[in-house]
Chains A and B, each alone.
Chain A
């Protein structure tokens, strides 16, 4: 499906631009200063704000699982999408391109996996699944048998399964991200004070 490759390329490009852009802003804020912005009190404050925004994404999965009426919490999903991009961008500003210690670097890497898998899951896997279902319906309407439909959609199904992998690691990887972030925050407060 060329449309998926095209979508994937656009998403990859936008993510790269966002990361480089935020790190350039951090470098700009550090010009002429004795310490990089990321290591200043303002940089730490940005980290706390980024963390608070990032944690707000967890309301959506909690609501989704606990809603008594089994309704999909659409508004919280929007918060999940927006906060899931804005929070990590602020955390990138807080980190800058100063990757030294292993614990925060791993936390950042885990965050990147969670965010990228979420974006790919929503932006590409969603599209793949929708396109696949549309095509399946079309073939059925044309009177093709189930076997013929499967044969024709074989390649598309394989692609959809490949993108499903991204979606399937999105929520479980959040566990690793939260644990590493908690370790980073505890370590920073323990060694650096409040």
Chain B
């Protein structure tokens, strides 16, 4: 079965449309790159950033160096709680990436911090361990959204020893299943 040949005008018409679309996309990308390329709007925290290259490096994605370019340590200390400031200083010292915990382009009202999305222990765990941050017991993977690993340190060992067997890997996510408020 042979189909009839294409009308002669079809290929030139599609080529012209393709060239027009590419020119339009180039112009639009120059005017408003976020609408043309980004997977979602920036959050309210970063909505004033207009240049993609403020955070992205070509062919490397969002890089820590550009986060730290604005989120300076001194500025952090001035504008955040001491525990938050200390937490981020420790993260930088451990050379973990910002993207381990943060993301973007989730919409203007989107949450951009992984731990803010999900903390199965609740605040109780900080009281029980007398720690102030997640990294006292967890090692975060370098990719946003990956579950953190349990660290092998004294804090974790003490917590494990206290539970008389109830505190074990995979069995202590929700503290309040056993501990009353």
Residue numbers of A with Cβ under 8 A of B are 33-35, 39-41, 98, 100-103, 106, 121, 125-126, 129-130, 164, 167-169, 171-173, 175-176, 179-180, 183, 187, 189-194
Contacts and interface: CB of A to CB of B under 8 A. Distances in A.
Nearest to B36: A102
B25 A176 contact: no
Contacts of B144: 34-35
B18 A183 contact: no
B36 A194 contact: no
A183 B25 contact: yes
Contacts of A194: 59
Contact of A100 (B7, B41, B56): B41
Contacts, number: 84
B6 A172 contact: yes
Contacts of B58: 190
Contacts of A39: 39
A67 to B, nearest CB: 15
A176 B17 contact: yes
Contact of A172 (B1, B14, B143): B14
B112 to A, nearest CB: 10
Contacts of B59: 189-190, 193-194
B117 A175 contact: no
Contact of B10 (A34, A40, A169): A169
A130 B1 contact: yes
B61 A101 contact: no
B145 A33 contact: yes
A35 B145 contact: yes
B10 A168 contact: yes
A100 B22 contact: no
A167 B3 CA distance: 9
Contact of A168 (B7, B22, B28): B7
Identify which of B15, B18, B60, B118 gathers the most chain A CB atoms within 10 Å of its CB.
Answer: B18
Nearest to B143: A41
A191 B41 contact: no
B50 to A, nearest CB: 15
A34 B74 CA distance: 30
Nearest to A130: B1
Interface in B68-125: 103, 106, 114, 117-118
Contact of B37 (A125, A129, A191): A191
Contact of A164 (B4, B21, B39): B4
Given A175-B14, A180-B21, A193-B61, A101 B39 contact: yes
Contact of B18 (A164, A171, A179): A179
A70 to B, nearest CB: 12
Contact of B61 (A33, A98, A172, A191): A191
B38 interface: yes
B37 A187 contact: yes
B52 interface: yes
18 contacts: A101-B37, A101-B38, A102-B35, A103-B36, A103-B37, A126-B1, A129-B1, A167-B3, A168-B7, A172-B6, A172-B13, A176-B14, A176-B18, A176-B21, A191-B56, A192-B56, A193-B57, A193-B61
Top 8 nearest A-B pairs by Cβ distance? A193-B61, A172-B14, A34-B145, A193-B60, A102-B36, A176-B18, A34-B117, A192-B61
